[in-house]
Amino acid sequence: MTEAPAPTVRALVEGATRVLADAGVGSPRHDAVALAAYALGLPRLDLVMAPPAPEGFTEEYAGLVDRRRRREPLQHIVGSTVFRYLSLRVEPGVFVPRPETETVAQVAVDEAARLTAEGRSPLVVDLCCGAGGIALSVDTEVPGARVVAVDASPEAVALTRHNHGASGSGTMRVELGDVRDPALLAELDGTVDVVVSNPPYIPPDAVPVDPEVRDHDPDLALYGGGADGLDVPRAVLAAAARLLVPGGLLVMEHAEVQDAASRADAEATGAFEAVATLPDLTGRPRMLVARRRGPAPVPREPGEPPPGAQAGVGDSQP
């Protein structure tokens, strides 16, 4: 009796797609293909040119699909995610970077690039850096920018340092620190050109629906504190008010229903002007932008540090 031929990779991916769709996964085919590529040790998989299934692939792939069926994040299973031009390691216990935050990073990149084009060496601070996606985007895309990344989570700081090392980028400083600490980065007060942040901002009664977020992202990176979830974002505003040079730019992500409250909080500080909301790629209001009130900063010669800056701001930390 002739044995039935072993299932092809394509057939297994089609079956996995149906399994994941039945489990409520939002992107079943994408995830099924990504898991197959991971099991095959490939950076990507073209099903039209899919290789034969090697020995043991069917069993390994079934295990990966089952983990995803139970709504373990795809990024945790494969151990990485793509953010802009970067491949970042992700780990349980650290917030997984989201595509919408790439737009926030773009605003910071554009501002740093503008200042660099003027012959300056802009200082950019990423508060609540998580896995380091925003900070590393500025660091890798804007040569000459000096970047400092800060997070209150030791796991996030360690992961950002790993991702920085893996990126092969310039001298980025990574610090453990709580944005609510009024002494955080005090040595940089009044010297920072861009403050960018994707802080926790979810209110306590708005528990995320998706199991990938609710059950796997750390509470420290999700819930912003206070009844409206904006306690930590208000701390970002306070930190930006003292860190930024006059005319310096603040960029801060928030939920689409928090645009008016975020603008009101920024205006209430008295420290900002040109307060506005910008949309993400889907047109939803997702980030606050504002300028530090005061006279425009005096142009500096190329390589000249801002007034009051200390040596070693851009040095990478161990």
Annotate 52-112 with DSSP letters as a single string. PPPTTHHHHHHHHHHHHHTT--HHHHHTEEEETTEEEE--TTSPPP-TTHHHHHHHHHHHH
**3-class state of residue 43 by DSSP:** coil
Q: How far is CA 273 from CA 290, 292, 295, in A?
A: 6, 6, 11
Quick one: what percent of the chain has pLDDT higher than 90? 66
pLDDT tens, residue by residue, 199-217:
998 877 766 667 767 766 6
What are 154-195's pLDDT values in tens digits? 999 999 999 999 988 778 999 999 999 999 999 999 999 999
30 CB neighbour count, 10 Å cutoff = 13
Band (pLDDT 50/70/90 cuts) for residue 2 is: very low
**Percent of the chain at pLDDT exceeding 70:** 86
pTM (two decimals)? 0.84
- Comparison of pLDDT for 93 and 4, the residue scoring more: 93
Write down the mean pLDDT value for the chain.
Answer: 87
Q: Which residue carries 């970002």 as its tokens?
A: 236
Q: Cα(27)–Cα(177) distance, rounded to whole angstroms?
A: 36
